[in-house]
Amino acid sequence: MQVDLPGQLPGATLLAPGREVAVTVPATSANLGPGFDSLGLALSLYDTVRVRTTDEPGITVQVAGEGADQVPLDSSHLVVRTILSTLADAGYTVRGLHLSAENVIPHGRGLGSSAAAIVSGVLAANALLPDADRLDAAQVLHACSALEGHPDNVAPALAGDLAISWETDGVFRSARAAVHPDVVPVVAIPATELSTERARGLLPATVPHRTAAANSGRAALLVHALTMDPAFLPEGTQDFLHQDFRAPAMPASAALIQALRSAGFAAAVSGAGPTVLCLANGASAAAAAEELMARQLQAAGENWRVLRLGVERDGARVEVHQR
């Protein structure tokens, strides 16, 4: 589908046609239980976008895979919007743009699909810019986080592994930590979506100090469990801030988490849900978690996908080609 470019800022510098960029971005799981809006893990499930500047005016968009029949095929596509706004912020524009997207990350399931789109757009635009005008890594993180609204998904998508993120005086920052090699993520992905806005709307405005303190302790333990000693994962993934409040919006997810945790597995809602994440300690534990998930979902009559994934170590990748 081809559409006209939206209006550009006067005085913007026109980028030359023939520049090609390919960006591959991993799925992410945020929160991981108690790490609300601060912890995120990169997973081995990837979206890929290919962007080309053209001489022909307008925008063309092609999408294959997840959400292909749902996402817009014009300038309102999230990746396109992100590219154009990032270029405009740097004082640049294009005559024409072609975007090809191959989506593997499910949409609206709590696996960071919108963060992947934003990271794809910012990295693609940044690669199209002249070297002197490109954002550095810290600026890319802040730009992506500002567009997404929080850094917990974009930070691991950018850097890989475990990301610990925060905001200071309006600036988003993050630190990467290497995940222990025995940690094996297993996800159960439902067929239905749940919007982040709806999930956040169920949260209370305040919680007791004792609850916040308990959650802080589990979040600290979770970082230790993920990086040093996975034996602590079941206790480290226990949440007090958000999962119980969101459970009415995703009863099947809550029931699966309860079944997994009762069996000793480290299970939590992935992001805002409704995907369930289990962080298994080793391959045999991952196989047992998969079996329990399948059995529980079959008994409940739920048609979900159960996938054993890896931890993505390196984060997003960018390839630049010049015709």
According to the annotation, is 262 in a ligand binding site? no
According to the annotation, is 114 in a ligand binding site? yes
Q: Find where tokens 């739920």 sit.
A: 302
Strand order in the sheet with 276-281: 267-269, 276-281, 183-189, 305-308
According to the annotation, is 17 in a ligand binding site? no
According to the annotation, is 264 in a ligand binding site? no
Helix, strand, coil: what percent of the chain each, to 5? 35, 30, 35
According to the annotation, is 110 in a ligand binding site? yes
According to the annotation, is 150 in a ligand binding site? no
According to the annotation, is 315 in a ligand binding site? no
Q: Omega of the bond prior to 274 within 30 degrees of 0, cis? A: yes
According to the annotation, is 112 in a ligand binding site? yes
Of 300, 212, 204, nearest in space to 250 by CA: 300
- For residues 166 and 173, the answer to whether their CB atoms sit within 8 Å is yes
According to the annotation, is 29 in a ligand binding site? no
According to the annotation, is 170 in a ligand binding site? no
According to the annotation, is 178 in a ligand binding site? no
DSSP string, 151-190: STTHHHHHH-SEEEEEEETTEEEEEEEPPPTTEEEEEEE-
* Residue 124 token pair: 């693609």
| Cβ-count burial 32-41 (b if 16+ within 10 Å, e if not) | bbbbbbbbbb
* Cα distance between residue 119 and residue 141, in whole Å: 9
As annotated, the binding site includes 106-116
Cite the annotated binding site for ATP by residue number.
Answer: 106-116
